Amino acid sequence: MTPSLVPDVPFIERQVSPLLSAGRFEEAEAMLHPYLASGSGPLALWKLLAAAIRPQGRIAQTRAIQEMLVAHAPGDFATRFDLSETLLLMGEFERGWREYHYRYSLAHTTVIERKVQRPRWTGQPIPGKTLLIHDEQGFGDTFQFMRMVRWAKERSGARVILEVNAETLSLAQRNKGSDDFDDIVVRGSLPPAFDVHCEMMSLPMAMGLKLADLPGRIPYLSADPQRLEKWRQRLAGLPRPLLALVWAGRPTHFNDANRSLTLAQLAPLAGPGVTFLSIQKGPAAAAATNPPPGMSLVSLSDEIHDFEDTAAILSIADLLISVDSSPVHLAGALGRPVWVMLPFVPDWRWLLARTDTPWYPGMRLFRQPSRGDWGSVMATMAAELDRFAT
């Protein structure tokens, strides 16, 4: 490396970080390239390079850089977590789950980590003991991984206590007394005495979850019969097919700009003979008052008070069309048909280059062919929707 290319790391970081934040990944890569072209250079710049090339879809190259970073700095837990998501995205579950454990060592995860003064269950049989399984992250994560509670009970031979957030409690409670778990408590309350514990999303690591193990029993959640009757009456008389619609995720999600759309972007899906049901929540729900031309849209957003309402609507609707959000996982757990709109580089759970998913057999994935290209996604879905509606 010539003297002119000796990197001033803090200066380069100040130049590159705004480019990454603005989604100008190619420019960030070009700025870093002269300092790393020889194959050596400061680890901090290699981390920036990985952050620049991953959104461009160069996953294998990203992994190679992350593997190098972990080898040189095994105590850099943030990089180990980044590697875990890359491995899981590539379907390499065995090591991916192990590295995923490093999520608890990051600044932004301190609010979800439980300081439990009991050993963590590692997958061994523990007959006669009590195992506490507790959720930890978003609602979608809870819906997705709740299937594994039953497997953990079978593997451990233990009495299982399930702890979940208040918003998903009633849905989970309907499995109480089954083979899934023995008792259930809401997060924030004092659980009964237990011997070992495991976070719900550490169950894959403890049990060595493989792709071949999926999907397991489907459905594993069900709608409340009283809510079903309420919503059957509410939706009676609407022309079918009924297509539930979610176009935006939680605005505070770190990746929301990459996964969420506006309702106007779904205009190509509009057509005769289809009734769309807006089950969108949050600020984006207001757009349902002004749907795209030709879209017959009934807004249910203000009538949905909890996930029990959402579950009932999804059980009646013919299809859910959604961005990557918690209703996707709720519908999948209910065994309902779902079409998911995915960004070019999706969340790790959707793997790569598949139009299906091992997690939910009734689900189809519609992926951006290039970064930001929702137009192609809409064109493909519109053609499929014509066939679905006839």
67-95 pLDDT tens trace: 999 999 999 999 999 999 999 999 999 99
Q: Are 114 and 146 in contact (CB under 8 A)?
A: no
- Chain mean position to CA 367: 15
235 falls in which pLDDT band (50, 70, 90)?
very high
In the chain, count H helices and then E strands: 15, 10
Per-residue model confidence (pLDDT) at position 2 = 45
> What is the signed CA dihedral for 10, 11, 14, 20, rounded to 10 degrees?
-90
Contact between residue 149 and residue 121 where contact means Cβ atoms under 8 Å apart: no
Average pLDDT value for the chain: 93
The topology (CATH level 3) of 3-109 is: 1.25.40
Alpha-carbon distance of 176 to 169, in angstroms, equals 11
pLDDT confidence tier of residue 1, bands split at 50, 70 and 90: very low
d(CA 333, CA 144): 7
Q: What is the pLDDT of residue 316?
A: 98
- 105, pLDDT greater than 80: no
Show the tokens assigned to 135.
């959720």
How does residue 41 score in pLDDT terms, banded at 50, 70 and 90? very high
User: What whole-number percentage of the chain has pLDDT above 90?
Assistant: 85
Element of type H or E holding 321: strand 319-323
Query: Taking 90 as the threshold, does the pLDDT of residue 193 lie above it?
Result: yes
Report the greatest alpha carbon distance in the chain: 76
- Arithmetic mean of pLDDT, 298-313: 97
322-356: pLDDT as tens digits? 999 999 999 999 999 999 999 999 999 999 999 99
User: Whose CA is closest to 134, among 102, 181, 178?
Assistant: 181
Q: How confident is the model at residue 176 (pLDDT cuts 50, 70, 90)?
A: low
Residue length, the chain? 390
Mean pLDDT value across residues 114-125: 88
Q: What is the pLDDT of residue 389?
A: 82
b (16+ CB within 10 A) / e for 346-378: bbbbbbeeeeebbbbebbbbbbbeeeeebeebb
**In this predicted model, what pLDDT tens digit does every residue of 245-293 receive, in sequence order?**
999 987 665 666 778 999 999 999 998 889 999 999 999 999 999 999 9
The pLDDT value given to residue 112? 57
> What local confidence, expressed as pLDDT, does residue 3 receive?
43
pLDDT, residue 251, reads 64
What's 225-389's CATH class? alpha beta
Of 301, 302, 241, the closest CA to residue 269 belongs to 241
Alpha-carbon dihedral 25, 263, 336, 256, rounded to 10 degrees: 30
Confidence of residue 4 (pLDDT cuts 50, 70, 90): very low
Q: What does pTM read for this prediction?
A: 0.94
